[in-house]
Structure 1
Amino acid sequence: MDAASSPRPRVVLTTLAGVDGRITLRRDQRLLDPAVGGRWREAWPDDVEGLLRRRDAWVEDRHHPTVRLEGSGTFVPDGAVSPWAEPGGPWDHRDHLPRRAPRWFVVVDGRGRMEWTRTGDDETALLLLVCRSTPPGYLARLRELGVGWLVCGERRVELGTALRRLGAELGVRCVRADGGGGINGALVRAGLVDELHVVTMPILVGGAGTPTFLDGDPMAPDGVPVRLRVVATQGGAEGSVWTHYEVVRPSRV
């Protein structure tokens, strides 16, 4: 079955946010920085970790996702430029899948901005989603590391194509989207999210421009909000709440 005719995998979006929707402390600080991540975790009420464990176990038991999807914005600043941005010679735009794995850590990085130090283990392999304008030098570096990629677009990674290709090429039936607001917003705008699992904790961060769990492009001038249906909620002793939503698809006329 080719990608065009392949059904796309189910997409389950998971996130942890304050009641103002913020998922980090500042736009110019990354939670991967131990100092920043430590301050973020210090604010968690005591009930958060238990809710996260129960949520993760439910998603795993119900859907068995084999892909964890992230955007490159989780790892690099907004204005980061690829170290391989200079032309490195032509490439033939073929996919590269040097290994197969039971699970995949998949990152959208069409601009080729990441220098990877970890490429997976025996169970989970790193896989990049790239496009035809991705710097050739970046792909050469991935090949050196033994990391695979799928080509999913011309000037940028087309997420719908990428999901269908994950299904067609790797047999993926469920993707867990666990990234930041950029990738989450792009998935929602493209109508690619099927359900959400949001753990909301009673903290406030605020600040204009502080990332939320749903950022990205603004709604079209004639757009309408995406409707959700609450499937279930579960509260913690300190006021944190895990809410399970399903996306309500527009009725066809």
Structure 2
Amino acid sequence: MNRPYTIIVSEVTVDGKLTLRKGRSSKEIMQFMDEEANRYLHETRAKVDGIMVGAETIRTDNPFLTVRYVEGKNPTRIIPTSKADIPFDANILGKHAPTIIVTTESAPKEKVEALKEKVEVLIIGKESVDLIKMMDKLYSLGIHSLMVEGGSTLNWQLLKLGLVDEIRIIHMPFIVGGENTPTFVGGKGFEKLEDVIKLKLRAHFLRGSHLITEWEVKY
């Protein structure tokens, strides 16, 4: 299988949280990122062919997923969603950058057709998006480098399938807490120590007031 070189980039609190509570926007936390940390994030966006988030992130945050703060091209926006449940007023359906919605045979036909009028739609999988086939298809479309900005469910699905090459964390200097608050990686998780995904620290540095760590994923 050919697939894009894939980097997960995320803003994470000291206790590993992505938001203040389940269902809350990550923008609440991101507003505390200083200009240099934002430049780092957007520098990464400008260097990749594609940027991916899950459908829940679209519904909660309604991001543009474009390059700002620095000069550079907008990557192709890629949204895997088994039910094609993307709001029709979502910012990623605008003309700011190309968008690909990846959905399934089980998605409501009327939703799929409505989305096709706005952006490119790929059908990959029956009940859930086949992420392995999706990655192969994206590579064939010229997406050879991919930045993933979560959330926690998508991060877990990609990591457990061995589809991630790097993780880059922008550390947010505060603690949120909460048993049900989304963490950097959600999903079922690993129950055995021998199954956990190992990382190798590649770099750590400050951008503005934020610690940034970059990790190689060692499957």
User: Normalising to structure 1: TM-score of the pair?
Assistant: 0.73
SS in 1 for 2:195: coil
Structure-1 separation of matches of 2:134 and 2:193: 27
Q: Give the corresponding residue for 1:83.
A: none
User: Considering only aligned residues, what root-mean-square deviation do their CA atoms show, in Å?
Assistant: 2.3
Larger radius of gyration: 1
SS in 2 for 1:76: helix
Q: Give the corresponding residue for 2:215.
A: 245
Residue 24, structure 1, aligned to residue 26, structure 2 = no
Structure-1 separation of matches of 2:37 and 2:87: 33
Determine if contact 2:153/2:185 at 8 Å carries over to the other structure.
yes
Determine if contact 1:68/1:176 at 8 Å carries over to the other structure.
yes
Structure-1 separation of matches of 2:194 and 2:109: 37
1:162 to 122, 126, 134: 134
Structure-2 separation of matches of 1:222 and 1:158: 27
Seq. identity, %:
23
Structure-1 separation of matches of 2:194 and 2:84: 32
Structure-2 separation of matches of 1:219 and 1:157: 22
Structure-2 separation of matches of 1:128 and 1:7: 20
After TM superposition, the runs of 4+ consecutive aligned structure 1 residues lying more than 6 A away are none
Q: Shift of the alpha carbon at 1:152?
A: 1.4
Structure-1 separation of matches of 2:120 and 2:14: 38
Q: Shift of the alpha carbon at 1:235?
A: 2.3
Read off the aligned partner of 1:66 and give its amino acid letter.
D
Q: Give the corresponding residue for 2:67.
A: none
Alignment length, in residue pairs? 205
CA change 1:235–1:219 in 2 (3 A) is same
Q: Give the corresponding residue for 2:35.
A: 49
Q: Give the corresponding residue for 1:153.
A: 125
Consecutive unaligned residues of structure 1, counting only runs of 5 or more, are 1-5, 32-36, 78-100
Residue 120, structure 1, aligned to residue 94, structure 2 = yes
Structure-1 separation of matches of 2:81 and 2:119: 13
Q: Give the corresponding residue for 1:86.
A: none
Structure-1 separation of matches of 2:194 and 2:153: 18
CA change 1:164–1:114 in 2 (3 A) is same
Structure-2 separation of matches of 1:158 and 1:220: 24
Determine if contact 1:108/1:130 at 8 Å carries over to the other structure.
yes
Read off the aligned partner of 1:191 and give its amino acid letter.
G
Q: Shift of the alpha carbon at 1:220?
A: 5.3
Q: Shift of the alpha carbon at 1:126?
A: 1.7
Determine if contact 1:65/1:176 at 8 Å carries over to the other structure.
yes
Residue 133, structure 1, aligned to residue 106, structure 2 = yes
Residue 104, structure 1, aligned to residue 99, structure 2 = no
SS in 2 for 1:75: helix
Determine if contact 1:186/1:217 at 8 Å carries over to the other structure.
no
Determine if contact 1:187/1:193 at 8 Å carries over to the other structure.
yes
Q: Shift of the alpha carbon at 1:49?
A: 3.3
Structure-2 separation of matches of 1:25 and 1:102: 29
Alignment of 1:30-45 (within 5 A): 30-31=25-26, 37=27, 39-41=28-30, 44=32
Q: Give the corresponding residue for 1:74.
A: 57
Residue 10, structure 1, aligned to residue 11, structure 2 = no
* 1:191-221 deviation line (CA, Å, top 9, x unaligned): 1000011011210001011011211232255
Consecutive unaligned residues of structure 2, counting only runs of 5 or more, are 61-72
SS in 1 for 2:215: strand
Structure-2 separation of matches of 1:148 and 1:237: 38
CA change 1:138–1:223 in 2 (3 A) is farther
